[in-house]
Structure 1
Amino acid sequence: MSKRTASTSEFLPEARLLEVAWEVCNQVGGIYTVIRTKVPAAMRYWGAGRYCLVGPYLHNNIAAELEPMDDVQDIFGQAAAALKKRGYHVQYAEWLVTGKPRVVLLNPSSVDEKAINVVKYLLWKNHGIHIPPDNPLVNQAVAFGFLTKLFVDELVRLGGSEGKLLAHFHEWMAGLPILDIKREGLPVKTIFTTHATQLGRHLAINSPMFYAHLPFFNREEEAKKFGIEAEATIEYACAQSSDFFTTVSEVTARECKHLLKRKPDAVLPNGLNIERFETLYEFQNLHSKYKEQIHRFVMGHFFPAYAFDLDKTMYFFTSGRFEFKNKGFDLTVEALAHLNEQLKKEQADLTVVMFFVSKRNFYSIQPEVLHSRAVLDEIRQTCDAIQRQIGKRLFHESTMRDDHHLPNLNDFVDEYWKLRYRRTVQSWQTNKLPLLVTHRLVDEQQDEILNILAEKKLRNEKEDRVKIVYHPDFITSSNPLFGMDYIEFVRGCNLGIFPSYYEPWGYTPLECMACGIPSVTSDLSGFGDYLLHHFPDHEKNGMYVVERGKRSVDWSAKQLAGFLHKFLQQGLKERIMQRNNVENYSAAFDWENLIQPYNAVYEKAIAMFPGDQVVAMQEPVVG
Structure 2
Amino acid sequence: MLIEISTEAARKIGGIYTVISSKLPYLQKKYKEDLLLISMLDEKSEIDEKPAGKLKPVFSKLSALGIKCKYGEWSGYGAKVIAIDAREFGERPAAYVDESGRTVNDKQANCIKYKLWKEFKIDSLESSWDFNEAVVWGHAVGILIEELINAKIIASPTLQFHEWLTGAALLHLKSKGISLPTVFTTHATVLGRSLASTGRDVLREAAEKKEGINISESYRYHVEAKHQLEVQTALNADVLTCVSKAVATEVQYILGRKPDVIVWNGVAKPPAVSEERKKRAHFIRDELLRFLESYFQPYYDQSYKDAILTYISGRYEFSNKGFDIYINALGRLNKQLKKVKSEKRIFAFIFAASSTSGPRDEVIHNYLLQNKANHFLRTYTESIYEKYGNTPNAIAVLKAKNKSVGTNLQSMLKGMMKLGSAPAISTHNLNYGNDIILNTCRAAGLNNAKDDRVKIIFYPTYASPMDGVLNMAYYDVLKGTDIGIFPSRYEPYGYTPIESCFAKNISFTTDASGFGLYALENIPQASRMGLKILKVQRRKTQHTVDELARELLALYKMPADRFRQLEQEAAKVINYCTWDKTIWYYFKAYQMAEQKHGNEYSKG
Q: TM-score if structure 1 supplies the norm length?
A: 0.86
CA–CA separation in structure 2 for the residues paired with 1:418 and 1:187: 78
Query: Does the CA contact (< 8 Å) of 1:72 and 1:81 recur in 2?
Result: no
Aligned position for 1:10: none
Compare 421-430 and 264-273 and name the one that shifted more.
Answer: 421-430
User: Is 2:45 the counterpart of 1:51?
Assistant: no
Shift of 1:61: 4.5
Offset of residue 342 of structure 1? 1.6
Aligned equivalent of 2:370, options 347, 365, 376: 376
Which amino acid in 2 is paired with 1:229?
E
- Indicate the residue corresponding to 1:601 in structure 2: 589
Taking a change above 3 Å as real, the CA distance of residues 93 and 612 of structure 1, as seen in their structure-2 partners, is: closer
CA shift for structure 1 position 284: 4.8
Of stretches 196-205 and 127-136 in structure 1, the one that deviates more from structure 2 is 127-136
Unaligned stretches of 5+ residues in structure 1: 1-15, 388-407, 618-623
Deviation at 1:219, TM superposition (A): 3.2
Structure 2 Cα separation of the partners of residues 201 and 409 of structure 1: 56
- Which residues of 2 match residues 252-291 of structure 1 at below 5 A? 252-277=247-272, 284-291=278-285
Tell me the equivalent position of 1:32.
Answer: 17
Query: Would the aligned equivalents of 2:302 and 2:343 in 1 still touch at CA under 8 Å?
Result: no
* 2:224 matched residue in structure 1: 229
Distance 1:260 1:386, change over 3 A: closer
2:460 equivalent in structure 1: 472
SS in 2 for 1:333: helix
Give the 3 Å change call, closer, same or farther, for CA 555–419 of structure 1 in structure 2: closer
Against the structure 1 CA distance between its residues 86 and 367, is the aligned structure 2 distance closer, same or farther, given a 3 Å change threshold? closer
In the TM superposition, 1:113-512 aligns within 5 A as: 113-114=93-94, 115-132=108-125, 135-159=128-152, 163-214=155-206, 215=209, 218-277=213-272, 284-380=278-374, 383=377, 420-428=408-416, 430=418, 432-444=421-433, 446-512=434-500
Q: 1:465 to 1:68 in 2, by over 3 A?
A: same
Q: Return the offset for 1:599.
A: 1.0
Q: Aligned-pair distance for 1:491?
A: 0.9
Aligned length: 570
Q: CA separation of 1:569/1:423 partners in 2, compared to 1, >3 Å: closer, same or farther?
A: closer
Cα–Cα, structure 1 residues 77 and 532, in superposed 2: closer, same or farther, change >3 Å? farther
- Amino acid corresponding to residue 331 of structure 1 in structure 2: I
Partner of 1:67: 48
Task: Report the Cα offset of residue 275 of structure 1.
Answer: 2.3
The Cα offsets for residues 236-271 of structure 1, whole Å up to 9 and x where unpaired, read as: 100111000011110011001111111101111222
Q: Which moved more, 1:247-256 or 1:216-225?
A: 216-225
Distance 2:401 2:524 in 1: 62
Identity within the alignment, %: 27
Q: Which residue of 2 aligns with 1:401?
A: none
Mark the CA change 1:347 to 1:227 in structure 2 (over 3 Å): closer, same or farther.
Answer: same
Query: Which letter does structure 2 place at the counterpart of 1:307?
Result: D
Q: Is residue 2:75 matched to residue 1:109?
A: no
* 1:134 CA displacement: 6.0
1:442-478 superposed Cα distances (whole Å, 9 cap, x missing partner): 113x211100111111111121111101110111122
Q: Aligned-pair distance for 1:593? A: 2.4
SS in 2 for 1:24: coil
C-alpha distance in 1 between matches for 2:163 and 2:525:
34
The answer to whether the 8 A contact 2:203-2:249 is kept is no
Rounded Cα–Cα distance in structure 2 between residues aligned with 1:384 and 1:277: 30
Structure 2 spans left out of the alignment, 5+ residues: 95-107, 382-396
Cα deviation, residue 148, structure 1: 0.9
Is the 8 Å Cα contact of residues 321 and 358 (structure 1) preserved in structure 2?
yes
**Aligned 1:531-570 pairs, distance under 5 A:** 531-570=519-558
Alignment of 1:77-116 (within 5 A): 79-80=58-59, 82-84=61-63, 88-98=67-77, 100-111=78-89, 112-114=92-94, 115-116=108-109
The alpha carbon displacement at 1:382 in A equals 5.4
Residues 347 and 380 (structure 1 numbering): CA distance in 2 closer, same or farther, change over 3 Å? closer
1:156–1:187 Cα contact (<8 Å) kept: no
CA distance in 2, matches of 1:517, 1:78: 52
* 8 A contact 1:386–1:413 mirrored in 2: no
Contact 1:283 1:515 in 2 (8 A): no
The aligned counterpart of 1:395 is none
Deviation at 1:85, TM superposition (A): 5.9
Q: CA deviation at 1:205?
A: 1.2
Q: Could you say if the C-alpha distance between residues 506 and 411 of structure 1 is closer, same or farther in structure 2, counting changes exceeding 3 Å?
A: closer
- 2:393 matched to which residue of 1? none
Q: Alpha carbons of 1:584 and 1:384: their partners in 2 closer, same or farther (altered >3 Å)?
A: closer
Query: Structure 1 residues 269-278 or 291-300, which shifts more?
Result: 269-278
Give the secondary structure class of the aligned counterpart of 1:118: helix
Deviation string for 1:118-139 (max 9, x for gaps)? 3222211111112226632121
1:96 Cα deviation from its structure 2 partner: 0.4
Structure 1 residue 594, shift from structure 2 partner:
1.9
Change (3 A) 1:586 1:495: same
CA deviations 1:287-334 (Å, max 9, x no partner) are 323211111111111122223222221000011110011001001111
Partner secondary structure for residue 246 of structure 2: helix
CA RMSD after TM alignment: 2.5
* Deviation per residue, 1:405-455 (Å, 9 max, x gap): xxx98698586x5664343232338583122111111113x2111001111
Q: Could you tell me how far 1:202 is from its partner in structure 2?
A: 0.7
Whole-angstrom distance in 2 between the partners of 1:259 and 1:474: 32
Aligned residue type for 1:129 = I
Structure 2 counterpart of 1:12: none
Matched to 2:348, the amino acid is: M
Contact map agreement 2:362 2:417 (CA 8 A) in 1: no
Q: Deviations over 1:179-230 (max 9, x none)?
A: 2333443231111111110100110111444333332774311111111111
Aligned-partner residue type, residue 243 of structure 1 = D
Asked if 1 retains the 8 angstrom alpha-carbon contact of 2:199 and 2:320, the reply is: no
Measured after TM superposition, the shift of residue 349 of structure 1 is 3.4
| Distance in 1 of aligned mates of 2:369 and 2:85 | 48
Question: Aligned letter for 1:448?
Answer: I
Between 1:492-501 and 1:23-32, the stretch displaced more is 23-32
Structure-2 change in CA distance of 1:87 and 1:463 (3 Å): closer
SS of residue matched to 2:320: coil
The more displaced of 364-373 and 259-268 is: 364-373
CA contact (8 A) 1:305 1:429 kept: no
CA distance, structure 2, for counterparts of residue 492 and residue 418 of structure 1: 29
Answer with 1 or 2: which has the greater Rg: 1
Contact 1:164–1:187 under 8 Å retained in 2: no
Residue 500 of structure 1 deviates from its aligned partner by 0.3
State the distance in 2 between where 1:381 and 1:611 align: 68
Distance apart, 1:547 and its partner CA: 0.3
**Distance in 2 of aligned mates of 1:565 and 1:418:** 38
Secondary structure in 2 aligned to 1:176? helix
Q: How far has the Cα of 1:91 moved from its partner?
A: 0.7
Task: Report 1 or 2 for greater relative contact order, CA contacts < 8 Å, sequence distance ≥ 6.
Answer: 1
Equivalent position of 1:610 in the other structure: 598
1:488 is matched by which residue type in structure 2?
A: D
Q: Say whether the 8 Å CA contact 1:165–1:187 is kept in structure 2.
A: no
**What's the secondary structure of 2:143's corresponding residue?**
helix
Amino acid at match of 2:320: N
> SS in structure 1 opposite 2:464?
coil
Partners of 1:119 and 1:355 in 2: how far apart? Answer: 45
Number of the residue aligned with 1:5: none
CA distance in structure 2 between the aligned counterparts of 1:418 and 1:582, rounded to whole angstroms: 42
CA distance, structure 2, for counterparts of residue 373 and residue 288 of structure 1: 19
1:67-104 per-residue CA deviation (whole Å, 9 max, x = no partner) reads 1111524xx67654553465531111111033x11111
